[in-house]
Amino acid sequence: MKRFLLNLLDWIYKKKCYFCGNSKECVKMCSECYSKMERLPLKVNRVILGKKVFCAGVYEKELQKLIRGLKYHHQPELAYYLAKFMAEYWREITDDKDFQVVPVPIYAKRKKQRKYNHMELVGEEFSKLLEIEYTPDLILRIKDTKPQYNLKKPQRAENLKGAFSVDKTKLQKGKILLIDDICTTGSTFEEMIKELQKSGFDDIVCFTATTPFGE
């Protein structure tokens, strides 16, 4: 019923595509704009501390606007489209459902300012689409770090030291799939992997929606 009412309101108020402004489909991202997002080849993009990192696409054009809209411009509805993009890629990597999906957390103060953690929204939709376990609070961010985009790799690593804590009570059998929006230097994943290893867990795969470096 809730979905029906939301769809009805969308139809009445003619929701426009955030990307092209077209209201024909009454959605936040029309099928034409969605189809313009280019995927990377189905292969390991890099390796961090021995863990495979997969990246679904390149951080540019529609995919870049999607992430920026979701992350910085109060467009939480875009989480579904990023999750769908990632899920379509991941299905071709594996059909294994023995994973715990864990989004990169943000500090509580920053989450309060933004009203949400965009990757928690993406993780929830991603897990539903793939029908796999979702554990958003397995890893907590306990340090209010500086934004990473202005920092070089050594500075990023220093900035993230001691930033994460693992709640061992949330660990389950199976593998952990760490997800994020973009992988630049890999410092965030590296620090999260270290914390998981300290807790005795080493079966980890990393997956991001984008990378700025292409193939």
The Cα–Cα gap between 126 and 138 comes to 17
Q: Give the model's pLDDT for residue 143.
A: 87
- Both 169 and 85 in one domain: the answer is yes
If you ran DSSP here, which 8-state letter would residue 180 be given? E
* Cα within 13 Å of Cα(163), Cβ side: 23
Instruction: Based on the fold, state whether residues 187 and 95 are members of the same structural domain.
Output: yes
Q: Which domain holds residue 79?
A: 37-211
State the DSSP string of 25-67.
S-SSS-HHHHHTPPBPPSS--EEETTEEEEEEEESSHHHHHHH
pLDDT value of position 160: 83
Same domain, yes or no: 5 and 50 = no
Structure tokens at 142: 């306990």
| pLDDT, tens digit, 9 for 90 and up, residues 120-139 | 999 999 999 999 999 999 99
Q: What is the pLDDT of residues 174-193, one digit of tens each?
A: 899 999 999 998 999 999 99
Q: Are 148 and 128 contained in the same domain? A: yes
Whole-model pTM: value is 0.90
pLDDT at 2 over 80: no
Q: How many domains does the chain have?
A: 2
Is the same domain home to 65 and 3? no
Are 42 and 135 members of one domain? Answer: yes
The answer to whether residues 98 and 70 belong to one domain is yes
Tell me, yes or no, whether 71 and 135 share the same domain. Answer: yes
Domain containing 115 — which CATH number? Answer: 3.40.50
Q: Residue 174, Cα to own-chain centre: how many angstroms?
A: 20
161 close to 128: Cβ distance less than 8 angstroms? no
Q: Answer yes or no: do 177 and 89 share one domain.
A: yes
Same domain, 30 and 41: no
